[in-house]
């Protein structure tokens, strides 16, 4: 009788849990989210009066600073998702947050998500480096095998960001969730440990000072550096 096909053997050692520690890069510092960040985050959110940046998140926009403070106070106590405030060095002001979540040490799988960047942080070198710091922490420091990115399938900017960072599209789960009373189809992306070194080197090359001109513009785009590494569905 033919033996049924099974997956390859691998290192089944559970990976460590992330720690609530800061991460400092060239242009940004990630600080474990705390209620002390709430005032700065509320101020940053005022750059988006229409609240478009909250459209695909399960919370927000917030009616006032007190409401955001309550959310931050609760969010900051969670271990999964584990959240960091994003403080760009250029402004010195906390201007967004992001998390590691869906943490599965036994499966060596982890997700980067709950990304909220205010307009003044979006599409900046600091924003990309903020994501890279957690990606590198998960894959290099903690040794996870699978790094996940998922988003509402209608969220075109998030899908472009996944491709730009070299994530590989895995498909769409239809009617996956209900978010704010609406159906959500979820697009899934991943980077595996065997794929990570090429992505890490491409992002690091984009962030390197040598890639930036005197006007603060990148000489080579990240999309060019990661071309062919990740593909949309």
110: in domain: yes
Contact by Cβ (8 Å): 188, 150 = yes
Q: Please give the model's pTM, rounded to 2 decimal places.
A: 0.96
Tally of residues, the chain: 233
219: in domain: yes
14: in domain: no
| pLDDT at position 37 | 98
Provide the mean pLDDT of the chain: 96
114: in domain: yes
Q: Is the pLDDT of residue 207 over 80?
A: yes
What are the residues whose beta carbons fall under 8 Å from the beta carbon of 195, sequence distance 6 or more?
166, 168, 229
Q: Is the pLDDT of residue 231 over 60?
A: no
186: in domain: yes
What is the pLDDT averaged over residues 31-42?
A: 98
Contact by Cβ (8 Å): 140, 200 = yes
232: in domain: no
Please state the domain count of the chain. 1
| pLDDT at position 230 | 64
Q: How many CB atoms lie within 10 A of CB 157?
A: 12
pLDDT per position as a tens digit, 131-184: 999 999 999 999 999 999 999 999 999 999 999 999 999 999 999 999 999 999
If pLDDT is split at 50, 70 and 90, which confidence band does 233 have?
Answer: very low
Preceding omega of 231 cis (within 30 degrees of 0): no
pLDDT per position as a tens digit, 90-130: 999 999 999 999 999 999 999 999 999 999 999 999 999 99
126: in domain: yes
Which range is least confidently modeled, 6-10, 32-36, 188-192?
6-10
5: in domain: no
| pLDDT at position 229 | 80
Task: Give, for 15, the enclosing helix (H) or strand (E).
Answer: none
- Measured CA distances, 175 to 151, 172, 189 (Å): 13, 9, 17
Q: Is the pLDDT of residue 8 over 80?
A: yes
Calculate helix-pair angle for 38-45, 65-75, nearest 10 degrees. 130
Q: Could you tell me the CATH number of the domain that includes residue 161? A: 3.40.630.30
Contact by Cβ (8 Å): 191, 138 = no
Task: Give, for 24, the enclosing helix (H) or strand (E).
Answer: strand 23-24
The domain of 206 spans 23-225
């Amino acid at each position: 009788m033919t033996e049924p096909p099974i997956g390859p053997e691998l290192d089944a050692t559970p990976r460590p849990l992330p720690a609530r520690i800061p991460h400092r890069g060239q242009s940004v510092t990630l600080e474990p989210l705390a209620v002390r960040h709430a005032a700065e985050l509320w101020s940053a959110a005022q750059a988006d009066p229409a609240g478009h940046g909250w459209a695909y998140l399960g919370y927000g926009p917030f009616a006032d600073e007190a409401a955001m403070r309550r959310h931050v106070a609760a969010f900051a106590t969670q271990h999964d998702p584990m959240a960091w405030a994003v403080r760009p060095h250029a402004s010195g002001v906390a201007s967004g947050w992001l998390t590691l979540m869906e943490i599965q040490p036994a499966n060596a799988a982890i997700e980067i998500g709950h990304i909220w960047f205010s307009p003044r942080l979006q599409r900046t070198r600091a924003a990309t480096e903020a994501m890279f710091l957690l990606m590198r922490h998960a894959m290099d420091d903690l040794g996870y095998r699978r790094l996940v990115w998922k988003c509402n399938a209608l969220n075109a900017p998030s899908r472009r960001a996944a491709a730009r960072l070299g994530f590989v599209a895995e498909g769409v789960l239809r009617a996956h969730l209900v978010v704010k009373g609406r159906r959500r189809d979820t697009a899934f992306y991943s980077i595996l440990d065997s794929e990570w070194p090429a992505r890490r080197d491409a992002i690091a090359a984009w962030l390197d000072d040598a890639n930036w001109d005197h006007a603060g513009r990148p000489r080579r785009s990240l999309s060019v550096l990661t071309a062919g590494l990740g593909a949309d569905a």
